[in-house]
Copies of this chain bind each other. A is one copy, B any other.
């Protein structure tokens, strides 16, 4: 069992109509002038943005807005946000949307609150000393960024996708109304459920020792997300299922499911970041497309965990060898991905990669992790390439 630090200061306000409390929460956390940061037109079309700005106007809180955060959010928009905040004297960020808007807002927050080049943090050259305070109105359950310390930004030059983690970036509050996620396309809902599961699974498949209570929480969370992902595939407006998935999304990435372990594996995420940087695929779908190839490549090196996963999460019967049980667990999760219409390889993801592309991605991934990474199995560049090749 490893020592750990657990710090989840984000005040979660969960339930119907909770977005109406946004002004009160901004005041509580000391905001006087707000940059509302959002993504595409959906928060405009749904009327949410209007409701938010009406609430701020009613409370006398001045605001400016910056839209345009895209999946795999771009560094250029981050620069634009930083400049805008400085020019307008913004002291509080409000992200309205999903992980893209939140991650982009975190990067803006680091940029405003620290001197120098913000990309340095994402390029592992410096650590941030502060972040502008940030609140969230969540509209997509997926990345867990609303409670997490991490954000992922893509630099257009060279299409480099990198994540940075710091407690300074944890949002001050997260308004979570499951109803706001009901209009998501089914594909994005399924992508979100996959991402949520992967945040726990990355922490689960380790060789460094674990904590029983963390495992029990992780397994319960994974079962809950699977059950409710299938409900949502049939009944996208089911409030309770939306709520289960939304809360699972936050708990899956706020640190809870990693307490006592060695930090986790994270190689499925790292491999997917290269896919996402090059092809701009949906993050959750990219994870689903890679996971099976990763799992088959590493499971013999992390057999007790894959066996446990098979039995306790996927409900595989305990007959046959440990390897057989572990493999059945992998197959069962791939079958689940197919049931919620997630890809299990690059072809199903819609990506046609040349071998040269795979070589490039493996190389960039290896550079990004300083040569090697992974707990279930330590992967070097040749392993990453083998997994990419197995995933086409």
Contacts and interface: CB of A to CB of B under 8 A. Distances in A.
Given A4-B14, A213-B247, A216-B220, 10 more contacts: A3-B15, A4-B12, A4-B15, A5-B12, A9-B11, A211-B247, A212-B228, A220-B220, A243-B260, A247-B259
A331 interface: no
Contacts of A16: 3
In the complex, which range does the number of interface residues on chain A fall in?
35 or more
A181 B212 CA distance: 19
Chain B CB count within 10 A is highest, among A12, A219, A256, for A12
Contacts of A243: 1, 211, 260
Nearest to A214: B247
Nearest to A215: B220
Contacts of A213: 220-221, 224, 244, 247-248, 251
Contact of A240 (B1, B8, B9, B220): B1
Interface of A: 1-9, 11-16, 18, 211-213, 215-217, 219-221, 223-224, 227-228, 239-240, 243-244, 247-248, 251, 256, 259-260
B260 A247 contact: yes
Nearest to A8: B8
A211 B241 CA distance: 9
8 contacts: A2-B15, A3-B15, A4-B12, A5-B11, A5-B12, A216-B224, A217-B221, A247-B259
Given A211-B247, A224-B212, A243-B211, A11 B7 contact: yes
